[in-house]
Structure 1
Amino acid sequence: MAEVAFHFNAPDKAAYVCRLLRKAYLKGARVTVLAPGDQIDALDRGLWLLAQGEFVPHCVQADPEPTRRHSPVHLLDRLDERAPTQVLVNLGEAVPDGYARFERVIEVVGLNDEDRASARQRWRRYQADGIEPQRHDLKAAGE
């Protein structure tokens, strides 16, 4: 069963996820990021624009198979069988179908009320599935 963690109070979700992906990459993790298309574009740009020497190899759904096979980070707007199943970062409004095949799920929640309300629904869904999510308050952690 997947381990689920909510990272609350991200003032800039794209910037936070880029830092999170860099940490995961440096630890050798293989990560799938599930997000709407406009957020995928922002993350793709953000990962290319990290400081010199901090680049995170990644791919998007439309990239050719060899690129996807060798990329440690996949930026997707829908899950598929080729996505790495170690870590899932969900930026969508719903719990994704198939999340249970991942070892770990990270839900990133911003500051606006809509995002928080959507996160509460996802939290309840995980609980209904028998998972007790972990809570990480980024504001309290100083991130």
Structure 2
Amino acid sequence: MAEVAFHFNAPDKAAYVCRLLRKAYLKGARVAVLAPHEQLDTLDRGLWLLAQGEFVPHCVGADAEATRRHSPIHLLDRLDERAPTQVLVNLTDSVPADYGRFERVIEVVGLDDEDRAQARQRWRRYQADGVEPQRHDLKSTGGE
């Protein structure tokens, strides 16, 4: 069963996810990021524009198989069998049907009321599946 953590109160979700992916990469994690296509473009740009010397190797779903095979971070608008299964960062409005194949799932939640309401629904879905999500309030941790 996947370990699920919600990171609440991200003032800038894209910037927070880019920092999170940088940390994951430095720890050697392989991560799939599931998000709507528009958000993937923002994340892709954000990962390229991190501070000098902090490049995070990543790929998008349309990249060549060789690129995907060697990339530790996969930016995807749908999951497939080629996605890494160590960590999933879910930025969609729903719980992915096959989230259980991942070791960890991270849900990043912004300050927007609609985003928070959808997060509550996802939280309840995980609980209904027998998973007790962990809560990380970014306001109390300074956003890191």
Equivalence for 1:133? 133
RMSD of aligned residue pairs (Cα, Å): 0.3
The letter of the residue matching 1:38 is: E
CA distance in structure 1 between the aligned counterparts of 2:33 and 2:97, rounded to whole angstroms? 14
Superposition map of 1:4-23 within 5 A: 4-23=4-23
Give the total of aligned pairs.
143
Deviation (angstroms), 1:20: 0.1
Equivalence for 1:103? 103
CA distance in structure 2 between the aligned counterparts of 1:43 and 1:133, rounded to whole angstroms? 25
Residue 85 of structure 2 corresponds to residue 92 of structure 1 = no
TM-score by length of 1: 1.00
C-alpha offsets along residues 91-125 of structure 1, whole Å, 9 cap, x if unaligned?
Answer: 00000111000000000000000000000000000
Deviation (angstroms), 1:142: 1.0
The letter of the residue matching 2:27 is: K
- Secondary structure at 2:10 match in 1: coil
Equivalence for 2:122? 122
What is the percent sequence identity of the aligned residues? 85
C-alpha offsets along residues 28-85 of structure 1, whole Å, 9 cap, x if unaligned?
Answer: 0000000000000000000000111100000000000000000000000000000000
Deviation (angstroms), 1:87: 0.1
* Structure 1, unpaired ranges of 5+: none
* Structure 2, unpaired ranges of 5+: none
- Secondary structure at 1:42 match in 2: helix
The letter of the residue matching 2:46 is: G
CA distance in structure 2 between the aligned counterparts of 1:98 and 1:73, rounded to whole angstroms? 18
Equivalence for 2:37? 37
- Secondary structure at 2:7 match in 1: strand
